[in-house]
Amino acid sequence: MESDELLINMGPVHPSTHGVLRFKLRMDGESIRECTPVLGHLHRGTEKIGEMKTYLQFIPYTDRLDYISAFPNNYAFVKAVEELAGIEVPLRAEYIRVLTMELNRIVNHLVSIGSLLMDLGAATMIMWGFRERENALQLFEMLCGARMTFNYIKPGGVREDIPDGFMPKLNEFLKDMEKRIDDYEQLINGNEIFHMRMKNIGVISAKDAVNYGWTGPTLRGSGVDYDLRKYEPYSIYPDLDFKVCVRNEGDSFARFIVRMDEMRESLHILRQVVDNMPASKEISSAKYGIAPMTGTPTAVSSYFPRIFTPPPGEVYSRIEAPKGELGFYVVSDGTTKPYRVKIRSPSFCNLTAIPSLVTGLKIPDLIAAFGTIDVVLGDVDR
């Protein structure tokens, strides 16, 4: 039976669009006939700013791309610059970087799962998720003084060494988090309403997912064993023992479970990092980094070379960010500023598949499917 077509505008101010995304929905009764995401409400011109700022000045802007997990953004850009200039990084700095990135992966998945369940109408999980997030943020604060936007990873190393009292607190967090994830699974995984809302909703086949350019937990929920930490190892990941979490169903529930499993894998990685952390205090390369902190804390930035000129060339460098493959394409013309910075953000590529995911479903299913894609609008619009 055909009914009149109804045009519904959802967003840009809507509690379930995780920011300022707008959906234009053509409805046939209650089911979605066509869904068009309208982007650009948070377009801040980050790529253009990259051409105006020096390499070091641009690092804070990478924090604000995917603001839930800023350490991987820092690292992705710094890795590109390091490949461009051929900078060697000391082992301890790499360990600290991986430590921060895996902690940030846990934080990202906590926020993602929490907001997904809040959109579905269950407020407990976001309270619990933010409770553990606070603990992780306190660790970040000990490292670099900031809660969300860190500016911590620099070419050649990291800004400061791990402070005293960090490691016991981290161990406490790891021990606590293991139990908490059990709690989450007990709370959510067996819930029948949750199953009805998530299973067979937003199904995408492995082939379609790859064709849409999906990466990260969203792609691994469709049964593709693609993780850049294994596929194209960087940093110290080849030395670490972890497995890639994959589910074959390709629906919203599978993507949710992959995130849950990834939190456990991140805990496993973190434990190895804590055990194998090199004892040397060298946290940055002698030529390009910050000298080890010996004097007053104010002397840190003055040790870092203000004028940093990589040789002319271009590089595309990518890492496995919590949301997927995050790539930076940096072109240098031999001056202090990049000639071009192109950001390949995971959220944008993952979001492009939403029309095909939700066509034929209802609006509440759109929210469920959209929540599992885990999009951050700062990363989409840049």
Partner 1 sequence: MEKGGIRVDPVTIDTTKIKITKKQPVTALDKLNDTGLISTVLSAREREGMILFSTVDQVFNWARLSSLWPVTSGLACCAIEMMAVAMAHHDIARFGMEIFRASPRQADLMFVAGTVTKRMAPRVKQLYEMMPDPKWVIAVGSCASTGGPYHESYSVLKGVDLIIPVDVYMPGCPPRPEAWIYAVIQLREKIKNQGYGAKWGLNK
Residues that bind partner 1 (CB under 8 A): 12-15, 19-20, 40-46, 48-49, 52, 60-61, 64, 67-68, 111, 115, 126-127, 130-131, 133-134, 147-149, 377-378
Q: What minimum distance in Å lies between the beta carbon of 251 and partner 1?
A: 27
Please tell me the distance from the alpha carbon of residue 238 to that of residue 234, in angstroms, as a whole number: 7
Identify which of 200, 222, 225, 135 has the alpha carbon closest to the alpha carbon of residue 368. Answer: 200
Tell me whether residue 133 or residue 154 sits nearer to partner 1 (CB atom): 133
Phi, psi of 157 (to 5 degrees): 165, -150
Residue 141 near residue 166, CB atoms below 8 Å: no
**In sequence order, what are the residues at sequence separation of 6 or more whose Cβ sits closer than 8 angstroms to the Cβ of residue 336?**
54, 55, 307, 308, 309
Q: How far is CA 12 from CA 68, 223, 324, 332, 361, in A?
A: 20, 32, 24, 37, 21
Residue 181 near residue 264, CB atoms below 8 Å: yes
Residue 166 near residue 103, CB atoms below 8 Å: no
Tell me whether residue 41 or residue 230 sits nearer to partner 1 (CB atom): 41
* DSSP secondary structure letters along 219-241: HHTTT----HHHHS--TTGGGS-
Q: What minimum distance in Å lies between the beta carbon of 137 and partner 1?
A: 8
What is the CB neighbour count within 10 angstroms for residue 98? 23
The sheet with strand 324-332 has its strands ordered as 313-321, 324-332, 338-344
Residue 157 near residue 283, CB atoms below 8 Å: yes
Q: What minimum distance in Å lies between the beta carbon of 188 and partner 1?
A: 18
Q: What minimum distance in Å lies between the beta carbon of 179 and partner 1?
A: 18
Tell me whether residue 133 or residue 259 sits nearer to partner 1 (CB atom): 133
Tell me whether residue 14 or residue 271 sits nearer to partner 1 (CB atom): 14
Tell me whether residue 10 or residue 87 sits nearer to partner 1 (CB atom): 10
Tell me whether residue 11 or residue 156 sits nearer to partner 1 (CB atom): 11
Q: What minimum distance in Å lies between the beta carbon of 28 and partner 1?
A: 25
Computed over its alpha carbons, how large is the radius of gyration of the chain? 21
Q: What minimum distance in Å lies between the beta carbon of 166 and partner 1?
A: 20
Q: What minimum distance in Å lies between the beta carbon of 139 and partner 1?
A: 14
What is the CB neighbour count within 10 angstroms for residue 8? 12
Tell me whether residue 254 or residue 377 sits nearer to partner 1 (CB atom): 377
If you ran DSSP here, which 8-state letter would residue 298 be given? G
Q: What minimum distance in Å lies between the beta carbon of 367 and partner 1?
A: 13
Tell me whether residue 9 or residue 211 sits nearer to partner 1 (CB atom): 9
